[in-house]
């Protein structure tokens, strides 16, 4: 365990005109830690995720990231090219809709291999072998490697998107509702897979979800957002078992028992 955080976020705000996207969000994320951001739609959790992953620029506030060489760099002061490089190599972004994170008209193997080529891998045999290895890690049969993701089921597409993101060995992965829109049985398989990969690879992750069960299974820490602000944060099991903020109590009490 490192003694320094991977990501430091301080007083981050994003306004859309006079509307609040997210306001005054502050937290640190350490290597290997999974942080869940929960709240209902419109609470600002996706705005926050997009700001953190530099897909959006915030109105104010800072986020500093510890690069592989140990230097902290301020994300919003990096050049566009540097940010893109970070996004391609050290970060991953898993979209709710796999079509947003995959290239639907090239083969599954190429989807995984493309990220490897982006970090400078050129040896075809090696790239293909790595792709095969990653497809099996996300439980996709090797004989589907030349198929396009268009022909995959929703759950398979999501697993392919995960393989594409993790193949470069990122240290930080952003996930936006990674199990949204999937059947519960498919969801359980995906969650278990994600949980295993995150532990084995020691990934840090920020997972946006409205599903508290997903948050409980994947994360150690949690932030609850409402109207763009963080209303409660802490250990995931503490927040869920002893919710303190009125809004968190409402969320927890609204879970359907099975």
Partner 1 sequence: MATPLVVSDVAKSFTMHLRDGIKLPVVAGVSFSIRSGECAVLGGPSGAGKSSILKMLYGNYAVDAGQIIVQHEDGLIDLATASPRTVLAVRRLTIGYVSQFLRTVPRVSALDVVAEPLVERGEDREVARNKARALLAQLNLPEKLWMLPPATFSGGEQQRVNIARGFITEHPILLLDEPTASLDASNRDVVIALIAAKKAAGVALLGIFHDHDVREAVADRVIDVTAFAAGKTAA
Interaction site with partner 1 (CB under 8 A): 1, 30, 33, 188-189, 191-192, 195, 217, 220-221, 234-235, 237-238, 241-242, 244-246, 249-250, 253
CB of 195 to partner 1, least distance (A): 7
Least distance CB 241 / partner 1 (angstroms): 6
Longest dimension (CA), the chain: 56
CB-wise, 71 or 253, nearer to partner 1?
Answer: 253
Strand, helix or coil at 173? strand
| CB-nearer residue toward partner 1: 43 or 236 | 236
Q: Between residues 30 and 85, which has the closer beta carbon with respect to partner 1?
A: 30
Taking the complex as a whole, how short is the minimal distance between the CB of residue 65 and partner 1, in angstroms?
18
Q: Are strands 221-226 and 229-235 parallel, antiparallel or unpaired?
A: antiparallel
The upper half-sphere exposure of residue 92, i.e. CA atoms within 13 Å in the direction of its Cβ, equals 27
Nearer to partner 1, 49 or 239 (CB): 239
Residue closer to partner 1 by CB (options 84, 244) is: 244
Question: Shortest gap between Cβ of 22 and partner 1 (angstroms)?
Answer: 21
Q: Give 215's contacts (C-beta < 8 A, 6+ positions apart).
A: 36, 38, 207, 209, 222, 236, 240
Q: Which is nearer to partner 1, 151 or 199 (CB)?
A: 199
Alpha helices in 11-79 (DSSP H): 45-52
Q: Is 22 within 8 Å of 51 (Cβ atoms)?
A: yes
Q: How far is the CB of 87 from partner 1 (least distance, A)?
A: 26
Nearest approach in angstroms of CB 158 to partner 1 is: 16
Instruction: In the chain, count H helices and then E strands.
Output: 10, 10
Could you tell me the strand order of the sheet in which 91-94 lies? 91-94, 172-176, 204-209, 34-38, 221-226, 229-235
């Amino acid at each position: 365990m490192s003694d320094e955080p991977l990501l430091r976020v301080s007083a981050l705000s994003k306004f859309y005109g006079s509307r609040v996207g997210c306001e005054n969000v502050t937290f640190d994320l350490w290597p290997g830690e999974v942080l869940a951001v929960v709240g209902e739609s419109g609470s600002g959790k996706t705005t926050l995720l997009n700001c953190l992953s530099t897909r959006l620029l915030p109105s104010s506030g800072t986020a500093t990231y510890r690069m592989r060489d140990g230097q902290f760099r301020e994300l919003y002061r990096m050049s566009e090219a540097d940010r893109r490089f970070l996004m391609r190599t050290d970060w991953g972004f898993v979209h709710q809709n796999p079509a947003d994170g995959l290239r639907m008209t090239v083969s599954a193997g190429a989807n995984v291999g493309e990220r490897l080529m982006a970090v400078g891998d050129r040896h075809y045999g090696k790239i293909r072998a790595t792709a095969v290895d990653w497809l099996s890690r996300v439980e996709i049969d090797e004989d589907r490697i030349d198929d396009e993701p268009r022909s995959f089921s929703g759950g398979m597409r999501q697993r392919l998107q995960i393989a594409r993101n993790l193949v470069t060995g990122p240290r930080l992965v952003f996930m936006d509702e990674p199990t949204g829109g999937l059947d519960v049985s498919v969801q359980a398989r995906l969650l278990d897979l994600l949980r295993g990969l995150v532990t084995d690879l020691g990934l840090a992750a920020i997972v946006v979800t409205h599903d508290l069960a997903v948050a409980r299974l994947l994360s150690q820490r949690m932030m609850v957002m409402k109207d763009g602000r963080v209303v409660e944060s802490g250990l995931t099991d503490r927040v869920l078992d002893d919710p303190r903020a009125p809004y968190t109590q409402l969320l927890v009490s609204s879970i359907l028992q099975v």
